Structure 1
Amino acid sequence: MRKTARWAATLGLTATAVCGPLAGAAPASPDPAPASLHAPSALVLTVGHGESAATTAPVRAVTLACAPGPSGNHPDAARACAELRGAGGDVDALGDGGAAFCTQQYAPVVVTLDGVWEGRRVSVERTFPNDCVKDARGAGVLAF
Structure 2
Amino acid sequence: MRNTARWAATLALTATAVCGPLTGAALATPAAAPASLYAPSALVLTIGHGDSAATVTPQRAVTLSCAPTPSGTHPAAALACAELRAAGGLDALAPRDDVLCTKLYDPVVVTADGVWQGKRVSYERTFANQCVKDAYMSDVFAF
| Partner residue, 1:127 | 126
| Partner residue, 1:141 | 140
| Partner residue, 2:22 | 26
Give the count of matched residue pairs.
Answer: 122
RMSD: 2.3
Offset at residue 73 of structure 1 (A): 0.7
Task: Name stretches of at least 5 consecutive residues in structure 1 with no aligned partner.
Answer: 1-19
Matches within 5 A, 1:46-85: 46-85=46-85
Matches within 5 A, 1:69-108: 69-89=69-89, 91-108=90-107
Offset at residue 26 of structure 1 (A): 2.4
Offset at residue 132 of structure 1 (A): 0.8
**Which is helix-richer, 1 or 2?**
2
| Partner residue, 2:12 | none
Q: Work out the CA distance in 2 between the residues paired with 1:92 and 1:24.
A: 52
Identity %: 65
Tell me: CA distance 1:37–1:64, structure 2 relative to 1, closer, same or farther (3 Å): same
TM-score scaled by length of structure 2: 0.77
Larger radius of gyration: 1
Letter in 2 for 1:50: G
Q: Work out the CA distance in 2 between the residues paired with 1:128 and 1:137.
A: 9
Q: Work out the CA distance in 2 between the residues paired with 1:139 and 1:71.
A: 18
Q: Work out the CA distance in 2 between the residues paired with 1:125 and 1:24.
A: 52
Letter in 2 for 1:107: D
Q: Work out the CA distance in 2 between the residues paired with 1:53 and 1:143.
A: 18
Offset at residue 36 of structure 1 (A): 3.2
Letter in 2 for 1:72: G
TM-score scaled by length of structure 1: 0.76
Tell me: CA distance 1:34–1:70, structure 2 relative to 1, closer, same or farther (3 Å): farther
| Partner residue, 2:7 | none
Offset at residue 101 of structure 1 (A): 1.8
Offset at residue 49 of structure 1 (A): 0.3
Does structure 2 retain, via aligned residues, the 8 Å contact 1:97–1:133? no
Q: Work out the CA distance in 1 between the residues paired with 2:35 and 2:130.
A: 38
Runs ≥4 in structure 1, deviation > 4 angstroms?
31-35
